[in-house]
Structure formats: C-alpha cells, structure tokens
C-alpha cells in the first residue's frame, strides 16, 4: 500500500481505460506494488486490464481518482508499470 500522498494506491485499485472521446472501454486493477524498485522513495505498480478493444492509436488510462495518462496501443500491449514516489 502507498504512503503519504499515495495511500490511495493499493492492490485492487481500479484501472480504467478510455478512448480519446472519454468513453470507458475496459477496466482492470493494480496488482501488488514493489517498494523502491525504481529509485529513492518510490513504488512500482504493475496493472492488469483485459479485453481492451483495438482500433485506436491512443488510450486514456486512469488509476483510481488520479489524473488520466495517455498511452499508445503499443505501450498497453507491451505492459505498463507505473511508478509513483519521490527521489
């Protein structure tokens, strides 16, 4: 589970995928994070989302209530690890 400004991040936190028009396409969840995997006071969170429809070159990705990130289809297919924290 995250600490300080990251207490909302934990295994099971919802992960939603949107098209660029804002329509939700798929939903998944965060898996267990790994503390300090990147550098400093950070945690890396793998995520799991299945059945994201094709046809778009970019997708919006929202973890919990955090700001939406834009990822390409290739990034989603190759796997996305998110790192939060301070260095």
Both tokens of residue 41? 């006071």
3 state DSSP class of 6: helix
Per-residue pLDDT band for 79 (boundaries 50, 70, 90) equals: confident
Tell me which DSSP letter residue 40 carries: S
Distance, in Å, from the CA atom of 13 to the CA atom of 74, rounded to the nearest integer, reads 23
The highest-level CATH class for domain 4-81 is mainly beta
Q: What is the pLDDT of residues 30-75, one digit of tens each?
A: 888 776 655 556 677 778 888 888 888 899 999 988 888 898 888 8
Q: Is the pLDDT of residue 87 over 50?
A: no
pLDDT for the residue 39: 54
Per-residue pLDDT band for 26 (boundaries 50, 70, 90) equals: very high
Nearest to 31 by CA among 49, 56, 19: 49
Give the residue ranges of DSSP H helices in 11-71: none
pLDDT for the residue 4: 58
């Amino acid at each position: 589970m995250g600490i300080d400004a990251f207490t909302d991040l934990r295994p099971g936190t919802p992960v939603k995928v949107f098209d660029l028009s804002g329509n939700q396409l798929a939903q998944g969840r965060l898996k267990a994070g790994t503390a300090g995997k990147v550098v400093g006071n950070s945690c890396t969170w793998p995520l799991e989302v299945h059945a994201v429809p094709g046809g778009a070159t970019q997708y919006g990705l929202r973890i919990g209530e955090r700001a939406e990130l834009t990822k390409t289809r290739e990034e989603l297919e190759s796997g996305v690890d998110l790192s939060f924290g301070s260095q």
